[in-house]
Amino acid sequence: MQSESEMTQGTETKRTARITFSDNDQVIELPVLAGSLGTDVIDTRGLGARGYFTYDPGFLATASCASSITYIDGDAGLLYYRGYPIEQLAEHSDFMEVGYLLLNGELPSARQKDEFVRTLRYHTMLHDQMAYFFRGFRRDAHPMAVMMGMVGAMSAFYRDSSDPFDPSQREVAAYRLLAKVPTIAAWSYKYNVGLPFMYPQNRLGYAENFLYMMFATPCEDYEPNPVLARALDRIFILHADHEQNASTSTVRVAGSSGANPFACIAAGIASLWGPLHGGANEAVLNMLEEIGDVSRIGEYIERAKDRTNPFRLMGFGHRIYKNMDPRAAIMRETCHEVLDELGLHDDPLFRIALKLEQIALEDTYFIEKRLYPNVDFYSGIVLRALGIPTSMFTAIFALARTAGWVAQWSEMVSAQGHKIARPRQLYTGMRRREFIPIGQR
């Protein structure tokens, strides 16, 4: 078994890639590296010295790092966290175990889990001064705007855990982020609807505590429904990490400059907010509500297929999954469970979603482009059934993804030979020209 550091570095193979040029006899040989699973990479680090850059806007075929955290096989529809298949984690584990696994590389023993849960529990409260920050936002501010601001503001309060190159400070920052982001998310909702903040309860589990902070009021007791809490915990597991997606890459690039962990996670929240990324779950619900009836699905499918129309079928397609996103399949199952538990199995939006999925998967456009439902397609329906307002869907995605972002950030800053991310470009602007005084323009 390769050591952790070897796995994170990749292994030189005996193979090399040879680049030849049609207009001269230059030959460039580059090493080919293999990981423990997945696609081999051509190590192009030496290309700059040979006078070339690679060109890959959108990073469709670029490995930005070596990582041992999450593995995805888009063709086979596989997703592993530290080697464990997502289906097994979703069924047998909980978010606390998954958070520990992502951060430490191994599933916790019972004792390790108890210690992890207890440590997080005593980090769930915010510095009381931070409660005043919420008041600076408009009441109708989008929860993601509030989360971005509040998590970034943690840089101003937790300076004793902000040095990314100090392992003990990295550990405390990880605990603080995993523990406080749910409080920030729930309070951004409470602030939105003008209700008092509810403090975290040490007697409750992670998902229960979030539901408590979201829906309890000072006027009466509130006990989270265990079935709904379990469904929410599973949603956290499914969204916890996903290799080098846009927001994780944002966290890595921000962190590569040595920025403090809270600033890096705030940057990740900013990127996740986009409707093509984590904002898709909110966009899916808005789209299903706009469709309104199964009779109108065909109209939206046609719009999505029209290349002159920027409309995309939200919740479909993925950069990597060219098969069903394994998380979408689990989410569809969770949907059935939650809607049955709540007696909402005739939920009209769920019916539209099921019909939309069936029609899309039979349409040649979607088949040819290998567009399948992704994790966001069903998550919005489950969250809505849990009573979570649509505006909070991406905030919940960010809450869960904080575990992955922190694990990836920590792996990046502690990697051997860590370097600041500094891509180059293909310059297509004006060649040198001389300044023209304004009187002569």
316 touches ligand SDX (CB under 6 A): yes
DSSP 217: B
Which range of residues in 23-31, 73-81, 119-127, 368-376 is near ligand SDX by CB under 6 A?
368-376
- Find the binder of ligand SDX among 170, 318, 332, 384 (CB under 6 A): 318
Q: In one letter, which amino acid is 424?
A: R
DSSP 440: G
Restricted to residues 130-159, the positions that interact with ligand SDX (CB under 6 A) are: none
Secondary structure E strands in 205-310: none
**CA nearest to 342, candidates 421, 240, 231, 212:** 231
Nearer to ligand SDX, 170 or 318 (CB): 318
Q: How many residues bind ligand SDX (CB under 6 A)?
A: 21
371 touches ligand SDX (CB under 6 A): yes
369 touches ligand SDX (CB under 6 A): yes
**CA nearest to 388, candidates 281, 294, 313:** 281
Can you tell me the distance from the alpha carbon of 223 to that of 342, in angstroms, rounded to the nearest whole number?
16
Can you tell me the distance from the alpha carbon of 354 to that of 378, in angstroms, rounded to the nearest whole number?
9
Neighbours of 320 (CB within 10 A): 17
108 touches ligand SDX (CB under 6 A): no
303 touches ligand SDX (CB under 6 A): no
| Chain position whose Cβ is nearest to ligand SDX | 317
3-class DSSP assignment, residue 84 = strand
Which range of residues in 26-34, 94-102, 165-173, 275-283 is near ligand SDX by CB under 6 A?
275-283
Can you tell me the distance from the alpha carbon of 247 to that of 277, in angstroms, rounded to the nearest whole number?
8
Phi-psi region of 22 (alpha: psi -120 to 50; beta: other; left: phi over 0): alpha
H or E element in which residue 146 lies = helix 143-157
351 touches ligand SDX (CB under 6 A): no
Nearer to ligand SDX, 187 or 366 (CB): 366
Which range of residues in 46-54, 82-90, 277-285, 286-294 is near ligand SDX by CB under 6 A?
277-285
410 touches ligand SDX (CB under 6 A): no
Q: Please list the active-site residues.
A: 277, 318, 376
Q: Residue written as tokens 């299903």?
A: 288
- Find the binder of ligand SDX among 90, 338, 375, 399 (CB under 6 A): 375
Can you tell me the distance from the alpha carbon of 223 to that of 350, in angstroms, rounded to the nearest whole number?
27
- Find the binder of ligand SDX among 312, 322, 355, 418 (CB under 6 A): 312
Q: Residue written as tokens 């500094």?
A: 422
235 touches ligand SDX (CB under 6 A): no
Which range of residues in 80-88, 133-141, 158-166, 273-281 is near ligand SDX by CB under 6 A?
273-281
Instruction: Output the smallest distance, CB 96 to ligand SDX, in A.
Output: 20
18 touches ligand SDX (CB under 6 A): no
C-beta of residue 399 within 8 angstroms of C-beta of residue 209:
no
124 touches ligand SDX (CB under 6 A): no
| 280-291 helix and 393-413 helix, angle to the nearest 10 degrees | 160
Q: How many residues does the chain have?
A: 441
Nearer to ligand SDX, 224 or 315 (CB): 315
Binding site for ligand SDX (CB under 6 A): 242, 245, 276-278, 280, 304, 307, 312-319, 369, 371, 374-376
